[in-house]
Amino acid sequence: MPEYVTVERRGDIAVITLDNPPVNAFSLHLREPLNAELVKLRDDASVAAIVIACAGRTFVSGADITEFGTSRSGQSPNLIDICAMIETLGKPVVAAIHGTAFGGGLELAMACHYRVADPKSLLGLPEVKLGLLPGAGGTVRLPRLVPAEKALAMITSGNPIGAVEAKTEGLVDAISEGNLVDSAVAFAKSRIGEKPVAVREREARVSGGSYGALDGLIEEVTKKARGLEAPVAAANAVRNALRMPFDAALKAERETFLRLVAGDQSRAQRHIFFAEREAQKVPGIGKDVTPRPIRKAGVIGAGTMGGGIAMALANGGIAVTVLEMSQAALDKGFGVIDKNYAASVSRGSLTEAKKAERMGRLSGALDYAALADCDLIIEAVFEEMSVKKDVFGKLDKIARPGAILATNTSYLDVNEIAASTSRPQDVVGLHFFSPANVMKLLEIVRGEKTAPDVIATSLALSRQIGKVAVVAGVCHGFIGNRMLAARSAEGEALMLEGALPAQIDKVFTDFGWPMGPFAMSDLAGLDIGWRNRKALGKTSAIADAVCEAGRYGQKTGKGWYRYDGRKAEIDPEITALIEAESKKAGVTRRAVSDEEITERTMYPLVNEGAKILEEKIAARPSDIDLAYINGYGFPVGKGGPMFWADLVGLKKIVAALDKWHDKTGRDVFRVSPLLRRLAETGGSFSARPA
């Protein structure tokens, strides 16, 4: 049996060391021996004070989330029991914190009488990111150590603070100098003989005693939560900490935790947490595949995407040369980059020094020779196969052997692009999302001939630049855009039959998407799709008529809506235009229900996801969920389209798709065999609904 808990005596101080690699999660097999040792030390008269420290790279960095939703999670001794035992031990207990004291780890530390921290350690309560709130006194103890406003910000954002700030705020009593455990032992010695004051006996407070400000903050959190329960519940728990007796607030917190942990939103958010880790495992890419080093990168095209990609790389510490066709295009691109960084500086999220450092990593060029020493070159030029092939042909001539040649194409065939070079094994799709310096998703498109170490390098790159990677196979639109096309396919028909853009958009925003498809098109510009349709010889009666009326979206002040600045207003002209098109098509308009809109947009999205799984374009359903949450604004509380489909019930989805297929005969409703089989056998997409 590994020794999860050991005790060492230093004179009359007992040092307990917890050792549960890799991150000292507070699992039952750790809690049991810890509880037993605490009882022994409590009853041992030769022990005057106790230090709780951790082995390995961190203090307890949280509860064991694999226990959530299982019987082990709350099993005694649970964290609440252990916190209560520490507080009433009658001898000073000092937490010695290094690495990350997160979640249950910080709750444990806050139940101790004192905290000594390594200067580099981080302290936080990230539960809200899993759709939860701290469930073992975190919301009740933190406002007794730091001002309630600070506690509220930490608990509702889930973001940690550093040890030095924690000391200023009152969360930490001392910062260690030199060896942490030695410092904690010295601190404990200095407190021997004092009657330790438990955190629960302190008073929760707001700065300046103004409760009104706190209520304002809670209102703000509620507004920003956009339907997520956890941040609101966490904010209310902080309010309880101020207004209720300690034990009542603790009980209320626990009840809320139990409600949230059993709810769909937290299950969805935990699903996404595991999905991110899972997505790093790519079939055929084992740990033995070594990524290629990326020291210098090139980006071709300084437009919307090229500029954002260059920023994303520079933010991750990589030197970037941006290539354009003219000095004017280069100047324009760099102007936008500078403006974007300046906006971050004025928002306070970036310092001037950091901005200068990042800008310093960027250089411009007009000649391909400037890219000859790059380890990675990402192309973000116009979306046209002939242009892409021309660029890759040039790259093939100048790039050094072993350089990775990537395309940011949204739809085009990566195999065909690769075949235009003499080194298809070095070619990969790196599909960023707009704005590329902000959006988290990086879709890595694996060509037929892409070498395993190119995929491994792309995964490593995504981590270095803080992106969430999903690997996709080659098909038109890959995972994300192919599914989006299925989601949008019925828009025109719904409008012809009786729906209006504002109704459809509202169904989407009620669902939790940040924007509906029509508001989104107005933002992106309607003329792009129109030009594409014309090039392909396709028509779309209503959308074409909108463009013919000179309505290209926000940039012309009119599109599917009328704009007053950025504010969209319903435009009677659009209503009339749509009604006229129905008449022209001989369609009698009828009331279209919100449910029908969902069935004809969201269900095809799920169905296309199933087809993508069948074709092995995505390795697993959770990869699709990850792509949709991080690249398309799918509401995080619903866990992604495939997880959500399980919640709705696959039988129900298949029945609706069949009904619409019978009515319209259209391909988007043709049920994928995988989806049908799962529905018929009671299966589900989410392998791990915790």
Distance CA(418)–CA(393), nearest Å, equals 10
State in angstroms the smallest separation of the CB of 333 from ligand NAI: 6
Q: Where do runs of H (alpha helix) occur along 348-420?
A: 352-360, 385-398, 414-419
Among 409, 503, 672, 686, binds ligand NAI (CB under 6 A): 409
Contact 671, 603 (CB under 8 A): no
Query: Scanning residues 243 to 302, which ones bind ligand NAI (CB under 6 A)?
Result: 300-302
- Beta-sheet strand order (sheet of 468-472): 362-365, 319-323, 296-300, 376-379, 404-407, 427-432, 441-445, 468-472
Among 232, 322, 329, 612, binds ligand NAI (CB under 6 A): 329
Residue 44 or 396 with smaller CB distance to ligand NAI: 396
Residue span binding ligand NAI (CB under 6 A) among the ranges 171-179, 340-348, 432-440, 547-555: 432-440
Distance CA(463)–CA(185), nearest Å, equals 38
Residue 144 or 388 with smaller CB distance to ligand NAI: 388
Q: Where do runs of H (alpha helix) occur along 285-384?
A: 304-315, 327-347, 352-360
Distance CA(524)–CA(636), nearest Å, equals 23
Among 323, 405, 500, 671, binds ligand NAI (CB under 6 A): 323
89 binds ligand NAI (CB under 6 A): no
- What's the chain's length in residues? 690
State in angstroms the smallest separation of the CB of 484 from ligand NAI: 11
410 binds ligand NAI (CB under 6 A): yes
Place of tokens 């504010």: 567
Residue 387 or 587 with smaller CB distance to ligand NAI: 387
Among 231, 306, 517, 631, binds ligand NAI (CB under 6 A): 306
Within 13 Å, how many C-alpha atoms sit on residue 462's CB side? 26
Residue span binding ligand NAI (CB under 6 A) among the ranges 46-54, 107-115, 408-416, 667-675: 408-416
CA distances from 262 to 17, 131, 312, 689 (A): 33, 10, 37, 11
Residue 345 or 385 with smaller CB distance to ligand NAI: 385
- H/E element holding 298? strand 296-300
Among 107, 173, 229, 324, binds ligand NAI (CB under 6 A): 324
State in angstroms the smallest separation of the CB of 417 from ligand NAI: 10
Is 127 among the residues known to form the active site? Answer: yes
Residue span binding ligand NAI (CB under 6 A) among the ranges 157-165, 339-347, 402-410, 538-546: 402-410
Out of 37, 107, 149, 497, which one is annotated catalytic? 107
**CB neighbour class for 356 (10 Å; exposed up to 12, middle 13-18, buried from 19):** exposed
Among 280, 304, 415, 598, binds ligand NAI (CB under 6 A): 304
DSSP class of residue 555?
G
**250: left (phi > 0), else alpha (psi -120 to 50), else beta?**
alpha
Contacts for 608 with CB less than 8 Å, ≥ 6 apart:
482, 483, 485, 486, 487, 668, 672
Pattern 433-472, binding to ligand NAI, x per CB under 6 A? xx--------------------------------------
Mind giving me the DSSP string for 92-125? -EEEEE-SEEETHHHHHHHHSSEEEE-TT-EEE-
Reduced to 3 states (helix: H, G, I; strand: E, B; else coil), residue 448 is: coil
Residue span binding ligand NAI (CB under 6 A) among the ranges 141-149, 243-251, 319-327, 490-498: 319-327
Contact 265, 230 (CB under 8 A): yes
State in angstroms the smallest separation of the CB of 411 from ligand NAI: 7
CA distances from 556 to 15, 505, 526, 527, 563 (A): 69, 20, 10, 11, 9
State in angstroms the smallest separation of the CB of 573 from ligand NAI: 28
State in angstroms the smallest separation of the CB of 366 from ligand NAI: 9
Is 548 among the residues known to form the active site? Answer: no
310 binds ligand NAI (CB under 6 A): no
CA distances from 484 to 146, 237, 476, 581, 615 (A): 46, 39, 11, 25, 17
305 binds ligand NAI (CB under 6 A): yes
479 binds ligand NAI (CB under 6 A): no
Among 78, 139, 408, 458, binds ligand NAI (CB under 6 A): 408
State in angstroms the smallest separation of the CB of 589 from ligand NAI: 34
Out of 37, 67, 87, 127, which one is annotated catalytic? 127
Residue span binding ligand NAI (CB under 6 A) among the ranges 141-149, 248-256, 405-413, 608-616: 405-413
CA distances from 4 to 41, 110, 297, 558, 644 (A): 17, 21, 46, 65, 39
Distance CA(227)–CA(217), nearest Å, equals 17
Residue 170 or 435 with smaller CB distance to ligand NAI: 435
Three-state DSSP string of 226-253: CCCHHHHHHHHHHHHHHHCCHHHHHHHH
Residue span binding ligand NAI (CB under 6 A) among the ranges 46-54, 170-178, 407-415, 582-590: 407-415
Contact 432, 308 (CB under 8 A): yes
State in angstroms the smallest separation of the CB of 227 from ligand NAI: 26
Query: Scanning residues 338 to 397, which ones bind ligand NAI (CB under 6 A)?
Result: 380-383, 387, 391
Size of the site for ligand NAI (CB under 6 A): 23
Residue 263 or 529 with smaller CB distance to ligand NAI: 529
**592: left (phi > 0), else alpha (psi -120 to 50), else beta?**
beta
Residue 100 or 630 with smaller CB distance to ligand NAI: 630
Within 13 Å, how many C-alpha atoms sit on residue 333's CB side? 30
Short-list 103, 104, 84, CA closest to 93: 84
Residue 404 or 495 with smaller CB distance to ligand NAI: 404
State in angstroms the smallest separation of the CB of 530 from ligand NAI: 16
Catalytically active residues, by annotation: 107, 127
Site residues (vs ligand NAI, CB under 6 A): 300-306, 323-325, 329, 380-383, 387, 391, 408-410, 432-434
